[in-house]
């Protein structure tokens, strides 16, 4: 497998440097946090929405159903208008979404079921939190909650409801006949009975496995090469684990996407910058993201980043700056004193894997670029021996 990047500089930033430069590389994060604090009025609107929905009765929710355009507009109560979107699609599923995520949205689904008065209904994109409340209040439907990747790059979740036992059994057979489908919950028409989660134990086992792996258990596979940049997928040496991770879509394929923007200014011609997808919420909080980034750096040798990256990516780089396996070079001086983090020459970081065989060449290139352009870089103390 061809080397992906030439990661060269991954080491720790000394604590005193971070103390002396508290705002570097997190300036945009601070701006985002400030925006969140200023969002108080939006939070109140959301709370009012949830409080009102708690009080409302299912039978008080009224719809205007447009069969021609396949839309379902809420007429009453008024606080639900422009907050909920419902429409039919070509696969005869009824898509549901809301600006505000709350388990009490189940009342809207129950009301629509009453309004439609059908023996069989298929909903798409119903959130998991709504499933048990829906079935705690239904006593005449069989139901299946499942995911499918038959028509999408990413899985779509469906809630299948029917009063016909034969349709219910046939649906189960059809879902299980395709490896792209996966049953998440089922209900067998018992009022008040909650769905049985048939995946939860397996997901916890996968999560525990991922929690205990090391960076040496991870490798990368080039999935695409183009003028827009190479793409790489995260792979695991444990084949069963690798299969399970993608079965549940815990990690997106083509997780790392190389940036090839000739207008960007980095460390001379050294431009190994990658954009990434996010991990599934089911495997967050176990340190896997850090292991993947670190393994990818080791795989490539060196990488660069700047303040235009996402908040999560900047946090990841900050952790890596403190890692003893990683060296750094930091260019915090922006050309022409530009202050905009989204400028073509925003503050940037290079990380290098400590055992990368081309460290000396990398430092030489960076140093020449620094002197030629009259910049001032901060070098990891372990790199000083290569600076002439």
pLDDT confidence bin for 235, thresholds 50/70/90:
very high
Instruction: Measure the CA–CA gap between 53 and 108, rounded to whole angstroms.
Output: 9
Q: What pLDDT shows up at residue 191?
A: 43
Least confident of 91-100, 191-200, 343-352: 191-200
Residues with Cβ < 8 Å from 77, sequence gap 6 or more? Answer: 52, 56, 60, 61
pLDDT confidence bin for 33, thresholds 50/70/90:
low
**How, if at all, do strands 378-379 and 274-276 pair?**
unpaired
Helices (H), the chain: 15-20, 27-37, 40-55, 106-116, 131-136, 165-176, 200-212, 239-247, 288-300, 311-321, 359-372
Per-residue pLDDT tens over the stretch 112-138: 999 888 999 999 888 888 888 888 888
Eight-class DSSP state of 237? S
Q: What pLDDT shows up at residue 291?
A: 94
Eight-class DSSP state of 152? -
Q: What pLDDT shows up at residue 160?
A: 92
CA-based nearest residue to 165, from 122, 117, 119, 133: 119
Least confident of 200-214, 288-302, 341-355: 341-355
Instruction: Measure the CA–CA gap between 101 and 221, rounded to whole angstroms.
Output: 36
Average pLDDT on 168-179 reads 84
Per-residue pLDDT tens over the stretch 38-84: 655 667 788 888 888 888 899 999 888 887 778 888 888 888 887 88
Per-residue pLDDT tens over the stretch 260-280: 776 776 776 777 888 888 888
In degrees and rounded to multiples of 5, residue 276 shows phi and psi of: -130, 160
pTM, full prediction? 0.53
Token couple for 324 = 């003893």
Question: Is residue 369 scored above 60 in pLDDT?
Answer: yes
Distance from the Cα of residue 20 to its chain's centroid: 33
Q: What pLDDT shows up at residue 3?
A: 36
Distances (CA, A) of 144 to 194, 224, 315: 12, 37, 40
Instruction: Measure the CA–CA gap between 34 and 38, rounded to whole angstroms.
Output: 6
Q: What pLDDT shows up at residue 11?
A: 36
Least confident of 12-21, 144-153, 231-240, 242-251: 12-21
Q: What pLDDT shows up at residue 5?
A: 35
Per-residue pLDDT tens over the stretch 183-234: 777 665 544 444 455 566 788 889 999 999 999 999 999 887 666 678 899 9
Token couple for 138 = 């239904």
The residue among 218 and 99 whose pLDDT is bigger is 218
């Amino acid at each position: 497998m061809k080397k992906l990047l030439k990661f060269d500089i991954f080491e720790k930033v000394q604590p005193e440097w971070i103390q002396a430069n508290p705002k570097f590389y997190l300036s945009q994060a601070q701006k985002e946090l400030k925006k969140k604090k200023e969002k108080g009025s939006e939070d109140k609107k959301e709370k009012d929405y949830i409080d009102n929905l708690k009080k409302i009765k299912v039978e008080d929710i009224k719809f205007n159903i447009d069969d021609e355009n396949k839309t379902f507009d809420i007429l009453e109560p008024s606080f639900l208008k422009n907050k909920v979107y419902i429409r039919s699609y070509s696969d005869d599923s009824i898509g549901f979404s809301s600006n505000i995520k709350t388990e009490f949205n189940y009342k809207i689904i129950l009301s629509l079921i009453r309004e439609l008065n059908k023996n069989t209904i298929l909903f798409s994109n119903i959130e998991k939190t709504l499933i048990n409340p829906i079935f705690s209040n239904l006593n005449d439907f069989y139901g299946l909650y499942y995911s499918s990747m038959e028509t999408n790059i990413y899985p779509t979740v469906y809630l299948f409801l029917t009063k016909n036992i034969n349709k219910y059994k046939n649906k189960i057979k059809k879902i299980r006949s395709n490896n792209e489908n996966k049953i998440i919950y089922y209900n067998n028409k018992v009022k008040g009975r909650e769905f049985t989660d048939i995946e939860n134990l397996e997901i916890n086992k996968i999560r525990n496995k991922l929690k205990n792996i090391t960076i040496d258990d991870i490798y990368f596979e080039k999935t695409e090469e183009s003028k827009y940049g190479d793409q790489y997928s995260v792979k695991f040496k444990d084949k069963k684990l690798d299969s399970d991770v993608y079965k549940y879509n815990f990690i997106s394929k083509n997780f790392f996407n190389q940036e090839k923007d000739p207008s960007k200014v980095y460390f001379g011609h050294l431009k190994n910058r990658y954009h990434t997808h996010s991990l599934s919420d089911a495997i967050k909080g176990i340190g896997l993201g850090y292991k993947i980034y670190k393994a990818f750096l080791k795989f490539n040798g060196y990488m660069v980043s700047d303040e235009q990256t996402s908040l999560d990516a900047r946090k990841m780089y900050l952790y890596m700056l403190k890692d003893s396996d990683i060296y750094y070079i930091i260019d915090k001086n922006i050309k022409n004193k530009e202050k905009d983090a989204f400028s073509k020459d925003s503050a940037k970081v290079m990380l290098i894997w400590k055992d990368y065989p081309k460290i000396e060449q990398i430092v030489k290139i960076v140093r020449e670029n620094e002197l030629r352009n009259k910049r001032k870089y901060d070098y990891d103390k372990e790199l000083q021996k290569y600076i002439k």
